[in-house]
Amino acid sequence: MPDASTPAPQLVDHHAGHRERLRARFMAAPNAVPDYELLELILFRTIPRRDVKPLAKELIALFGSFGSVLHADPARLREVKGIKDATIIDFHIARETSLRLTQAKVMKREVISSWTALIDYCSVSMAHNALEQFRILFLDRQNVLIADEVQQTGTIDHTPVYPREVVKRALALNASSIILVHNHPSGDPTPSTADIEMTKKIIETAKPLGIAIHDHLVIGKGRHASFRSLGLI
């Protein structure tokens, strides 16, 4: 029997060295850290004393990308061994932080001169959604973004849109023009025939009331389509 005075052996975290090295590399060059290692850094917070690299790679393979992991449905995430509610909360925190940072670059600003920032914001907001979502960006006479609202959420390939409701909301906000935005969960932002017809109906409804449709953006995964650039408006 060991002597009672002998200190108990200390547990060694064999992964601590890797974690510290990864944190140091991230602080030195954040842009050089690949997606799976960025996901590791998030997993470190809620999964101690475990090599989370395989889990990070598994999550990205399962959901398709780093962004899709952060936007994944909590019920699906819970099906992955090792993922608990605390980790899911951290994913939501990371997602919401990114959204608010991009939103701050466009809200109450003139959007035409901030077009790249606007696309970034729409992409962060919608590109990884599993369902189609239709939102409206409301602009004043100086093209300043005064409101951003989700009007409808639909299925994986369809969102019901009601032109009268779009125009009614624009009038309530005293908006002079609007930008329509919706996502394609398939990842391909090519406008469908239904998208084009719906946009025409909104233009026809809004025009007599002096409300212009500045553009209709379709957000895919890593790509977007602009109706104005395509000559559809």
Determine the Cα–Cα distance for residues 26 and 30; give it in Å rounded to an integer.
4
* 145-153 and 212-219 beta bridge pairing: unpaired
Q: What pLDDT sits at residue 103?
A: 84
Per CATH, domain 16-101 is 1.10.1760: no
Q: What pLDDT sits at residue 171?
A: 95
Domain residue spans of the chain: 16-101, 107-226
Determine the Cα–Cα distance for residues 72 and 87; give it in Å rounded to an integer.
12
- Helix crossing, 85-104 with 115-126: angle to 10°? 160
* Angle formed at CA 21 by CA 20 and CA 27, multiple of 5 degrees: 90
Residue 9, number of CB atoms within 10 A of its CB:
7
- CATH assignment of 107-226? 3.40.140.10
Determine the Cα–Cα distance for residues 55 and 5; give it in Å rounded to an integer.
41
User: What does the radius of gyration of the chain's CA atoms come to, in whole angstroms?
Assistant: 23
Q: From first to last of its 233 residues, what are the pLDDT tens digits of the chain?
A: 455 555 544 444 556 688 889 999 999 998 899 999 999 999 999 998 789 999 999 999 999 889 889 989 999 999 999 999 999 999 999 999 988 888 888 878 888 788 889 899 899 888 888 888 899 999 999 999 999 998 877 665 566 778 889 999 999 999 999 999 999 988 899 999 999 999 999 999 999 999 999 999 999 988 999 999 999 98
Say which DSSP state 92 is in.
Answer: H
